[in-house]
A and B are shown apart, each in its own frame.
Chain A
Amino acid sequence: MSVGLEHYLILSVVLFSIGLYGALAKRNAIIILMSIELMLNAVNIAMVAFSRYIVPLQLTGQVFAIFVMVVAAAEVAVGLAIIIAIYRHRQTIDATKIDLMKW
């Protein structure tokens, strides 16, 4: 059986689920950010696969993937800056201990 659209979509879902588990279950804020990057990559695989198999001559999925990469780069820069600022004030990046705004 040759590799088709479903294979790429299932791989994308598997990677997204791994990232979802990491984002929900981890305490280290940097690991949570890495899991979010994993989820964004999974979405990119799905969009490029749709672009390749559904509309092979239009490339709109690849354009969307480029914008996702731009937003991911901006997000990781601001996210790591926030983590370093929190670490400087509270000497921890444990997400369960960063509860200043928790009701």
Chain B
Amino acid sequence: MGLDIAFWILAVVGVMAALAVVLLGDVFRAALSLVLCFLAVAGLYITLSADFLAAVQVLVYVGAISVLIILAIMLTREVQRGSPSNRLRIPAFFVAALFLGGVTYALLNTSWQVSSTPPLEPTTPALAGLLFGEGGFILPVEIAAILLLAAILGAIVLVREK
């Protein structure tokens, strides 16, 4: 089963990279392992037969967001200070472990109504129909455009020299 092997490899790589993001002492290396985690998530989208989302994940997260994060790390010169933990490290670990245990218990004891029909592929025409077609998500798409414009203007206003 090719998909199963791909899932396990991508899952192990993704979890390892995510652990490296929060455990590594070097901020720049943490950002690079975040990029690796984003790539693993894009691979997981492919195993879920979400081809358009995998391409968007690579373009937006690996291409744009990681560049923004690395640029911010370069601009703030906190690289020498590393990535220290605050006083709440032990309680935060317990909160995260408690969340992990509780949600895992809940979802293993739920009987999901898994459908046996094979997934739709390719997904791009169907997604375009849903986003822009009749009775679809056209109003949220417009609101998302306004949100992006507001975010761009806000970012420019915040970082502009007085």
Contact = CB atoms under 8 A, between A and B. Distances in A.
A11 B11 CA distance: 7
A22 B20 CA distance: 10
A85 B100 CA distance: 35
Contact of B76 (A8, A54, A93): A93
A61 to B, nearest CB: 9
Given A28-B83, A34-B21, A73-B60, A6 B108 contact: yes
A26 B84 CA distance: 6
B143 to A, nearest CB: 9
A52 B50 contact: yes
B50 A62 contact: yes
Contact of A25 (B19, B81, B93): B93
Given A21-B92, A57-B120, A62-B50, A9 B107 contact: yes
A17 B85 contact: no
A14 B50 contact: no
Contact of A85 (B71, B73, B151, B159): B159
A93 B74 CA distance: 13
Contacts of B156: 81
Contact of A62 (B60, B69, B89, B127): B127
A24 interface: yes
Contacts of A77: 68, 151-152, 154-155
A83 B45 CA distance: 31
Contact of B44 (A16, A25, A45): A45
A45 B69 contact: no
Given A45-B44, A81-B158, 4 more contacts: A31-B21, A38-B21, A77-B151, A85-B158
